[in-house]
Structure formats: C-alpha cells, structure tokens
Structure 1
C-alpha cells in the first residue's frame, strides 16, 4: 500500500517493512534474530528450519525494493550471540545496501561486532522531518517511525468471530511498524477515531 506523509511517499509491505521512496530507504523493526536458537537452547520445541525463515523473508523484501539503505528500528537481535550471528554475517556480506541499526532494548551485542561488518549503530536518527527510533516517542516538529510494541489490531465479526492481525499503526505524528520477525508475538492496540490502521492480511496490506 502506498501512503504519503509530510509530502514524502512510502510503501507498506505485507512482510512488515516500510519503504521510503525518495530516499530509497527500507525500514524494518523487531526482527529478533537469534530468538529461535535462544528458545531451542532452553528446550523449546521449535523446529531447526525456523532459524532460516527470517533470512528468507529479509531476502524477499530486499529483492522487492532493492534499497540503497536498510535501517533496522531496534531489536535486530533478541539476545546475546548465538549461532545465528554467523548467518547474519553471511546475509550482510551478500546484501549490497548500506545497513544501519537504531538500537533497541534487546540489542545487547557489542557494537564492535557490528562495526566489523560495516553496520552503523545509532541511538536514534533524524532525517529531514522524520525521527527514526525504537521506542514510540512524539517529538515536536517531527514525525516518528518506531517499533517495539509489535502492534496488532483485533477485528470483530458477526457473533463471536474475531481476528488478530499485525498492523502498521499510525497516529497523527507517529507510525509504529509491525514486528518483522517470526515468533515475535503481537500486542493488540485499540485505535481512536484519529488513528489509521493498516492491517497485514496474508500477502497484502489493508486499511481498516
């Protein structure tokens, strides 16, 4: 879905990323790489093949947009180093875009590890009139893109039917991106009349 914010054009992708056309910048939040390996280490019955799923999805969205830059809006990795770091190294090596990380609360891996891969890390970024950060924050004069919440919307049907769908959640001065990663969970938000909700339904984005 194409939307315009402050006279800039953005594309909402059904995998959960957002592409800023004028800057050829792909925004992705809350991938939580390493979470599957973390769970498996502590005995959770998660299939090994799930480890590769996030990288397949990353390849897909990068292929769709071919961005100049990719900015991860925090929680790129779920926890400390594990076997998935090597997969990330390989993914970075084959991805031609410049990669930036706006650090989140889960990003505890030493910055030096990212620097060796030429991945730049920032606590936040201000580009033109836009604030890129992990935690939701409204700052005067800026429109914020962020993550952290893993937003979802709950849709009620006739009777007791309901759906819980991940979404892009837009208020007047802020958009919260859905979690990109598999096995991340969601948090249902209740929109006000002024909010806009763009739900991800299978392979499309729908305004609800």
Structure 2
C-alpha cells in the first residue's frame, strides 16, 4: 500500500534450539545462585569473625580483673581439662564440641595449646579436612592446622567419641575424632568428646566436609 513499508515477519525459532537456550539460561541461573550462596557463606563467616574481633578489641569494664592466659592455664586440672571447638558451616555456627583431655602427655598439652592459642597459632579458622568410612561403623573426622595424609592407625572397638592427636610441631597438628564405634585414629589418644558429638556426626554427612570451620576454640575454666 502507498505510504506503508512492509516489515518482514520474524523467523520462527527452531523448537529444539529454543529449549536448549532455556536450559542454558536455567543452568546459568543455578550457577549464579550457587556463586551467590557461596559468597553469602563467606560473608556470614567474615561478619561473625569481625564481631568477635570487635568484642576482643573492646576494653574490659573498669571493675574487671584481667589475668594472663598463662595464669589461667595453671588453674586447669591436669588430669581432666575440658576444651571446646565451635563448628560452623553454611554461614551458621552449628554447635560446640566439648572434649575432655588429660594433659599428662605431650600431645594432649599441645592440643590444649592449639585450643587456647598459646603457641602463637591455634585451631581458630581451620577446617575439618576429611571424613573416613562415611556412614559406616568406623566413621571418623579429621581436622587441625596441619594435614597428614597417611597416618591412620588401628585401635580397639567401641571407641565412639575418642579423640586422638598427632603433632607436626609445637604450633601445628591434626586431630581425629571417632563419630562411630571403630578403630581409626592418629598418634596418641588424648581424650574423649564430652558433649556435642552430634555436631560432628552432622558435619560428617555433608557433601563437602571441608566447608566446616572452627569459628572459636578454647578451654573451660573452673570457677
């Protein structure tokens, strides 16, 4: 018609190509969501650590009595010291694991030191690094600030909650905790989980146990 311009009709997209593009878009959205969740996880942990650091940086109340850590350690019962590890994953602190240790052996004293940070390093911000026999009778989890690859040993049955430790130096070492009856262990037996074993059992079932972080650690001081 005069005064009008004919516009070509858009081509009908091939149906297979259309669905393929949609799948690609969905895949891209899922990947973006995973990335967002990952960074949210890191941000939450970072925020928790910042809050703890802010509390540590705050001056104590004027009526407070401050003591050196070395003096606090002297008050601990050498035959039965309770340490703790706070476990977090997916940006949330999941629970506290209390471990009763006997510090009459060198490895136990090193473990306590890495809980308090006395050697200058600690378990703080370290991750669980592997789980063996996942879901099985001999299930055990490993953590620490040094990774041994070939030091799994054999003990006796009915050792659920047992904690063993092997040091690399005064400032580093790895622990193994039995989350089920079995015989996996590292080095010296230093103690047993007093409470919080369910936290470690839940951590052991994660697809990736290395996302589990120790967000706080220390010793329980008797009053």
Q: Is the structural similarity TM-score above 0.5?
A: no
TM-score range with shorter-chain normalisation? under 0.3
Larger Rg: 2
- Which has the larger share of helix? 2
TM-score, with structure 2 as normaliser: 0.20
- Which has the larger share of strand? 1
TM-score, with structure 1 as normaliser: 0.21
